[in-house]
Amino acid sequence: MTRFDTIERAVADIAAGKAVVVVDDEDRENEGDLIFAAEKATPELVAFMVRYTSGYLCVPLAGEDCDRLGLPPMYATNQDKHGTAYTVTVDAREGIGTGISASDRAATMRLLADPNTGANDFTRPGHVVPLRAKDGGVLRRPGHTEAAVDLARMADLRPAGVICEIVSQKDEGEMARTDELRVFADDHDLALISIADLIAWRRKHEKHVVRVADARIPTTHGDFRAVGYQSIYEDVEHVALVRGNIPGADGRGENVLVRVHSECLTGDVFGSLRCDCGPQLQAALARVAAEGRGVVLYVRGHEGRGIGLLHKLQAYQLQDAGRDTVDANLELGLPADARDYGTGAQILADLGIRTMRLLTNNPAKRAGLEGYGLEIIGREATPVRAHP
């Protein structure tokens, strides 16, 4: 297994004006990009990048900076396989030669990162390719474009980076893959990180949900408070059904009974017999009501273990042909379980929970929540009768 460096080291290196190597998922581009902050661009960094990459140097920018600089899409209808948002190419209007040298491109890159520049400071077309990053960074799109902007922000620099794909030294007709990238990074004293690790770091260390509503809801199991949350970077809403005083008399939020329930439209609403999600939800509500204190957190975006409703229905087709759940997902090119519990952990913390007893039949859910700093002092199974 390839050894990756820490996100903290990568951020420190970016802040210091060094380059880092960032790899994406094997099921995506499966490539490693050399990345540095645009405001730190030097002729030496650009020359190093040109030597070891494809040479098609791009400058990811925040959307608001693309708008400020008058950088429209390169083509009206983006047909790129991965949705990379190329804009028109540019050169600095003043202070450069033809625009292609390492010195000229470094000057253009620094100018793109400068908050005091405007559209008239550049000529079009040029030799530098700006890219428009998605708002929310890698939490919205797991690409090198967003990773570059995120790393620059995390380093307290302007949200602008420089990226290019590293070519293989073994086969110059191909791109370097992860094992070769590790050797390359070690040879040049560069940090090697993955976009997956960057996503996990941001989910763990940044707030990405906000509380927007708190209302009483009478149910067949008694009255609950419905506390609604909105994901900041995704168009997803979540609700926590709360019973009793969660912080408790001492205000410490200890020993709270909790069920983290993944959204399941087919089971929760339609009563599908393919799963026991609906009965588990009702059993959890009844258990919390009987306890008099607890939370049933309904996490949206977890449909089909995170693969989405339509993909889940496609997996059902394969299951009808004899595949089990995991094999069906893998045959569709999907992970066996794509759920992330960072959002749920933040909601539980916002409700004042510090230690909990987790209502679940899935041991992996415990590990998923504990990874975000919540202490689980016990796990209780949810008794559900098997379907006939």
Which of 24, 337, 340, 354 is an active site residue? 337
* Sign of torsion over alpha carbons 4, 10, 13, 14: positive
**SS3 label, residue 223:** strand
**Measuring CA to CA, which residue among 53, 60, 39 is closest to residue 106?**
39
| Pairing label, strands 222-231, 192-194 | unpaired
Identify whether 124 is a catalytic site residue: no
CA distance 2 to 4: 6
User: For residue 123, what are the β-bridge partners?
Assistant: 91
Identify whether 156 is a catalytic site residue: no
**Measuring CA to CA, which residue among 60, 15, 347 is closest to residue 203?**
347
**SS3 label, residue 165:** strand
Would you mind telling me the total number of residues written for the chain in this entry? 388
Which residue reads 């009563």 in tokens? 271
Which of 158, 339, 340, 354 is an active site residue? 339
**SS3 label, residue 300:** coil
The first and second tokens of residue 258, run together, are 């909790």
Neighbours of 309 (CB within 10 A): 13
Neighbours of 163 (CB within 10 A): 26
CA distance 263 to 129: 41
The tally of CA atoms less than 13 A away on the side-chain side of residue 230 is 7
* Sign of torsion over alpha carbons 294, 298, 302, 305: positive
CA distance 268 to 132: 39
Listed in sequence order, the residues at least 6 apart from 126 whose beta carbon sits closer than 8 Å to its beta carbon are 89, 90, 91, 99, 108
**CB of 130 closer than 8 Å to CB of 87:** yes
CA distance 228 to 104: 51
Instruction: Give catalytic residue positions.
Output: 337, 339
